A and B are shown apart, each in its own frame.
Chain A
Amino acid sequence: MEIIKIERKVLAKNDAIASEIRGKFEENGVFAINMVSSPGSGKTSLVEKIIEYFNGRVNISVIEGDVQTDLDAQRVSAYNVPVVQIITNGGCHLEANLVNDSLKNLDLVQTDLLIIENVGNLVCPAGYDLGEDMKVVVISVTEGDDKPLKYPKMFINSKVLVINKIDLLPYVNCNIEQLKQNALKINPALQVFEISCTSGEGVGKFCDFLESSI
């Protein structure tokens, strides 16, 4: 048989658009994070906390990714920050072309920190570069301490791990030391923060880290 060599990444097109987006961010001095987690770990709650913490001192814009509804965008818009909702209509992750299109509705010049809240899913978003500076993976203590071992790719591709809902530690069967150990075995370079969006504990430390990265 005749062989035609291809050697092309299946997601090459996504990667190309992501590079284009990265260029736009650099040009406009935007620091972008891609926030990923299982459904309900507290991504939107953390977005709200970050906005509250900076209280206008840092210009924040938000892109909300959901399978359905603009409920998360509604929550965020109550804080008077620019927010765009992407509805994927069943899609299990955000792709770079969707983010690129949504940038038309944001003023990047006026943005210091762009938070992209991905679709709640610990598998699929891991493979899609959105042009972000870093992926922040959020995991809540109610999910158990074995998640890094079960969803390693997400933890390998993230720079930061936020462990949320630590206010619930007394009530759930989650060993937070084990959780951290598992995560650091998968990716020893992870920066780990322990927070509660409900009590506010640890939120300041995480936000200070974000500010120092901008």
Chain B
Amino acid sequence: MHELSLAQNILETVRQNVTADELSKVREVVVEIGAFSGVVAESLKFSFEAITSGTELNEAVMTIVDIPFCLKCNDCGSETSTEIPMMLCSICGGINTQILSGDELRVKELKLAEE
């Protein structure tokens, strides 16, 4: 994967959402990663650390929230989670399904130190 470029996107989002003064107060960047987003969490964290160390964001760490794969079947109504994300319902074999979660790659929130 291309975690470094993703980390750069995240950095840009952080900068857009805080003032210049607040930047050095950012302590946590919370990122949601879905089970089949294809992103390697450790590598994303590493990349983020690499591009922020020695900057105003030196103290900011990335926290990952893992989001499981979840499928809803519109035929039998079940909500299931399989290890491999399958859109075929594992309960009734129905194909009329929708993915509820698992594809996320999202900056959820920032946590800032208060004075």
Q: How many A-B residue pairs have CB under 8 A?
A: 92
Q: How large is the interface on B (under 10, 10 to 19, 20 to 34, 35 or more residues)?
A: 35 or more
Distance in Å from the Cβ of A97 to the closest Cβ of chain B? 12
Interface residue A40 (Cβ < 8 Å from any Cβ of B): no
Are A124 and B38 neighbours in the complex by a CB distance under 8 Å? yes
Are B10 and A10 neighbours in the complex by a CB distance under 8 Å? yes
In terms of DSSP, what is the predominant structure of the interface of chain B?
A: mixed
A152's nearest neighbour on chain B, judged by CB, is B85
From 139 to 157 in chain A, residues with beta carbon under 8 angstroms from any chain B beta carbon are 149, 152-153, 156
Task: List chain A residues, Cβ under 8 A from B97.
Answer: 188
Task: List chain B residues, Cβ under 8 A from A166.
Answer: none
What number of A residues sit within 8 Å (CB to CB) of B?
29
Distance in Å from the Cβ of A1 to the closest Cβ of chain B? 4
From 83 to 114 in chain A, residues with beta carbon under 8 angstroms from any chain B beta carbon are 91-93
Instruction: Render A3-39 as a binary contact track against B, CB cut-off 8 A, 1 for contact.
Output: 1111111110100000000000000000000000000
Measured CB to CB, the residues of B under 8 A from A are 1-2, 5-6, 9-10, 13, 17-18, 25, 27-28, 31, 36-38, 84-88, 95, 97, 99, 103, 105-114
